[in-house]
Structure 1
Amino acid sequence: MKDINWDALSLDELKDIQKKATKAIESFEARKRKEALAAVEAKAAEMGFSLSELTGGTKTKSTKSAPKYCHPENPAKTWTGKGRQPNWVKEALANGKTLEDLLIVK
């Protein structure tokens, strides 16, 4: 970097340099942050994980839904009716049962 005679610069020139320097610093930090994140994600993937698995991700607290269906022979196996159907539900439906047959009676 060339030597600058700071005393010879006007206030506007100094403020312009300050503004450009601040922008350059922020850009540098953003690049370094991206590089660090990419390196950490690559290392986690190399070890068979995603970064969110290791850091807890951005999970939000959710309330558990009450089970709505249960396995006809094993009441410990339940399903809320949300998300993918468990294999036991798929099997029961394939064997002619309906979801109403699997409802938990209260």
Structure 2
Amino acid sequence: MAHVNFESLQTDELWAIHEQIGYLLARKLQAEKSVIEARLVELRRRSNLHPKFQNPDEPSQTWSGRGRPPKWVSSLLATGKTMEDLRILS
């Protein structure tokens, strides 16, 4: 890459370089953003986890086992149930 002495350039030359760099930078950032957004869509698509645990008293309440447990899990564990008691059998 050639070294340019920016101090020796005229204002209009510097401005033209500035505009060109701004344009190129915006294009490259948009391309990177598109790649990241596509990866995010793919990750979200893969994150459809099947539930592994179910509330025996309220079968519509399920949990995948990831993240913070729902309140119903904590409540049932406090009453003496185990995670195996809540596991959905496949």
Q: Give unpaired runs (5+ residues) of structure 1.
A: 1-11, 28-57
Report the equivalent of 1:81.
Answer: 65
Paired residue type of 2:51 = P
Identity of aligned residues (%): 33
1:95 aligns with 2:79: yes
Report the equivalent of 2:9.
Answer: 16
Q: Give unpaired runs (5+ residues) of structure 2.
A: 23-36
Distance apart, 1:75 and its partner CA = 1.1
TM-score (normalizing by structure 1): 0.49
Distance apart, 1:93 and its partner CA = 1.0
Report the equivalent of 1:60.
Answer: 40
**Compared with structure 1, are the counterparts of its residues 98 and 60 closer, same or farther at alpha carbon in structure 2 (3 Å cutoff)?**
same
Over the aligned positions, Cα root-mean-square deviation in angstroms equals 3.2
Report the equivalent of 2:55.
Answer: 71
Separation in 1 of the partners of 2:67 and 2:80?
21
Number of residue equivalences? 64
Name the structure, 1 or 2, with higher relative contact order (CA <8 Å, separation 6+): 2
Q: Which runs of 4+ in 1 moved over 4 A?
A: 24-27
Paired residue type of 2:76 = A
Q: Which of the pair has more CA radius of gyration?
A: 1
Report the equivalent of 1:31.
Answer: none
Paired residue type of 1:101 = D
